[in-house]
Chain A
Amino acid sequence: MQLNGSQILVNVLLEQGVDTIFGYPGGSVLNIYDALYAYKDKIRHITTAHEQGAAHAADGYARITGKTGVVLATSGPGATNLVTGIATAYMDSVPMVAITGNVGTSLIGRDSFQEVYIAGITMPITKHNFVVRDVRQLADTLRQAFEIAGSGRKGPVLVDIPKDITAAKCEYEPKPPVEQHKSADVSGAAEIAEILNNAERPVIYFGGGVPAAGAGALLRELAERAQIPATHTLMGAGVLGYDHPLNLGLIGMHGNRTANLAVHNADVILAAGTRFSDRVALNPNKFGGGAVIIQLDIDKSEINKNVTVQHSMTGDTALLLESLLQFIEPAQHTDWLAQIARWKKDDYTPVDSPDHLTPHGIMQTLCDTCEPDTAYVTDVGQHQMWAAQYLRHVGERSFLTSGGLGTMGYGYGAAIGAKCACPDRRVIHITGDGSFHMNMNEVCTAVSYQLPIITVLLNNQVLGMVRQWQTAFYGRRYSCSELDRKTDYVKVAEGFGAKGYHCETPAQFEAALKEAMTQDGPVWIECVIDREERVLPMIPAGGTVQDTIID
């Protein structure tokens, strides 16, 4: 049948199983929005306050579902406003298709109104991108974009469509989505399993590649059969339950001392779906303290990129773990686990307080009060680290956070995407006063679409993480970090049509949270915390576990 470019776009989205997209209209995408109007019973479009929010929403949607998130924006500023969201998704390997309109083909290259070369701008932050120059190639280009975004190591793909292409007509024929073929080179499995079987002090260190491959159950099976303790990165939270006896918790700069000690004293480290980032391997030359390191990853270029490893296998992480499991023998590692238990006993524990709010106390109250399948979405800074450390993670795809790029302002948009994807699950947005000021305007979206997202705002009146570094390494010279904003969050929430609470004690917080959980729309709960609260333990950049700061 003959369709115009905009109708083809919408039809390809339907082919790909897309039911929700996030975006913001504008001049170059008017034709596309006209097509969306006609298909509004099939595709729900969530209009955000800002394109950045829409990009983070598509990202949140993708992280919680595992499906590819879709964001749509107009040319020029609409497109550039997506950049931070695309880069965030790229760093955390989140599947996303970003569609931008552009000025008409005849206006391209003339510095036309709202013209920008977004394909050039996003080259380093996408897996691939396309400029569509012929309507006859539009459908296949979009299909290819979905295929690239959702295959191998996932990531964002951008498709830029000039306005005349969205109006031009051509023949359209529906096609089913391409089946994703999973592959792995498992030739080293027997040898690697042998090394693990002979290990005396083995540790598993895993990251986002495990949940991305749906390999959580395989990882648990391996850890349990061979009794190997496991530590996770920010992106791996939830794969092992917080109360799992083999779970060492978070690794790295703000990881548990036990996790970092275990990795430093191990004789064999199995790194699965993780990339030895500088927040984990703070000193890449000393990571593992001389242990034999085995790396499993879907991306060949991750092997030996940051830390040199002795053994590796590349391919789909689930297939790789499956191949190892064929050769892994049951083991006990009694002495090693006893040593770890001793480290755990001596590990850092924060001090409780009955009368003022503490970061860990807030996280505990959240987990005590909210349903176990609650999704927690964070912004970036101290609150993010406290959420990573003290939330009792129990499920995969339930801790949504900007790990690689560290995007302040990520949280609200991502929470909107998560809530749209999973309306029956509770979504808690944990933020700080610094991050929240960046994109709090997205609350208007949550109000418009009646999304009952609960924002828990840890307000210490300062840029806590910046200030913490200034305390530790810059002689307490608090340059531009003590903001002391005068924002009245309750009033701002109300002004947007949301509900707000102000809490200073644990009792007030519990009461506010219980009330918030009964609301139909978004709620903000401001929690006043002390600005001297720090994220501990901490290993300074370039250090090892021996440099851990505990108080």
Chain B
Amino acid sequence: MEQNKRILSVLVKNHAGVLARVALLFCQRGFNIDSLTVSETDDPGISRITVTTTGSETLTQQVISQTEKLTETVRVFELKPSTSVMRELLLVKVAANEGERGAVKEIAEIYKAKIVDLSPDSMILELTGKPDKIDGMIDMLGSYRIIEMCRTGVTALGRGIAEEQTF
């Protein structure tokens, strides 16, 4: 069966412990979590959990219908890459002395990353984009020493106004 990356948007009631319930359900049923972001929506009573997972169509349907069963779930839907906007933010600290700085800066410019911190031996780059763009820049930085790195995980919204994606 075809194993694909899937993005699920899970709208939940903004109650204490709701993230634990969703995360535990994934753990209990053996569903992968590749990345996970949580935030309030425009309605402070509702939070959005964006989960990326890997699996077949059947498994994704099972993930969705199990998640829908949670009492605090408002709505669950899959965001398809062609009809949604997805973004991830990367902060990466690269070892770069005076001699290497220029080359790293060039990579940053190509990817439109920002240099947000500079010290004598290192610099921190900030990049926002689709996960594959972020993967691409990390690859390019491979010839330098990455000291620390942090990715937020994918956050995503469907394009246009789609009835089933509102609450």
Which A residues fall within an 8 A CB radius of B?
119-120, 123-124, 127-128, 148, 299-301, 303-305, 308
Contact = CB atoms under 8 A, between A and B. Distances in A.
Given A119-B17, A123-B21, A304-B62, 16 more contacts: A120-B20, A124-B25, A124-B28, A127-B69, A127-B71, A128-B71, A128-B72, A148-B71, A300-B65, A300-B68, A301-B62, A301-B65, A301-B66, A301-B68, A301-B69, A304-B61
B150 to A, nearest CB: 28
A299 B71 CA distance: 14
Contacts of A308: 58
Contact of A124 (B24, B58, B65): B24
A301 to B, nearest CB: 4
Contacts of A304: 58, 61-62
B30 to A, nearest CB: 12
8 contacts: A123-B20, A123-B21, A127-B71, A148-B71, A301-B62, A301-B69, A304-B61, A304-B62
Interface of B: 17, 20-21, 24-25, 28, 58, 61-62, 65-66, 68-72
Contact of A299 (B25, B28, B58, B69): B69
Contacts of B66: 301
Contacts of A148: 71
A304 B58 CA distance: 8
Q: What are the 10 A-B residue pairs with the smallest beta carbon separation, nearest first?
A: A301-B65, A128-B71, A300-B65, A124-B28, A301-B66, A123-B24, A301-B69, A124-B24, A304-B58, A305-B62
A296 to B, nearest CB: 16
Interface SS of B by simple majority: helix
A301 B65 CA distance: 5
Nearest to A302: B65
Contacts of A305: 62
A301 B61 CA distance: 8
Contacts of B61: 304
A120 B96 CA distance: 46
Nearest to A148: B71
Contacts of B69: 127, 299, 301
A305 B71 CA distance: 20
Contacts of B70: 128
B69 to A, nearest CB: 6
A305 B64 CA distance: 12
Contacts of B71: 127-128, 148
A485 B79 CA distance: 60
Nearest to B58: A304
Nearest to A127: B71
A301 B20 CA distance: 20
Contacts of A124: 24-25, 28
Nearest to A155: B69
Contacts of B58: 304, 308
Nearest to A157: B71
A303 B64 CA distance: 12
A91 to B, nearest CB: 13
Nearest to A124: B28
A183 to B, nearest CB: 15
A303 B69 CA distance: 13
A13 to B, nearest CB: 21
A123 B69 CA distance: 13
Contacts of B20: 120, 123
Nearest to A300: B65
A293 to B, nearest CB: 15
A305 B65 CA distance: 10
A308 B61 CA distance: 12
Nearest to A153: B69
A120 B20 CA distance: 9
Contacts of A120: 20
A304 B21 CA distance: 23
Contacts of A123: 20-21, 24
A440 to B, nearest CB: 32
A149 B21 CA distance: 17
A120 B28 CA distance: 13
Which one of A119, A148, A308 has the greatest number of beta carbons of chain B within 10 Å?
Answer: A119
Nearest to B16: A131
Contacts of B28: 124
A133 to B, nearest CB: 9
A124 B20 CA distance: 11
A233 to B, nearest CB: 21
A415 B152 CA distance: 53
A150 to B, nearest CB: 14
Nearest to A144: B71
A548 B85 CA distance: 54
Nearest to B17: A119
B12 to A, nearest CB: 13
B65 to A, nearest CB: 4
Nearest to B27: A124
Which one of B24, B58, B65, B68 has the greatest number of beta carbons of chain A within 10 Å?
Answer: B65
A148 B71 CA distance: 8
A316 to B, nearest CB: 16
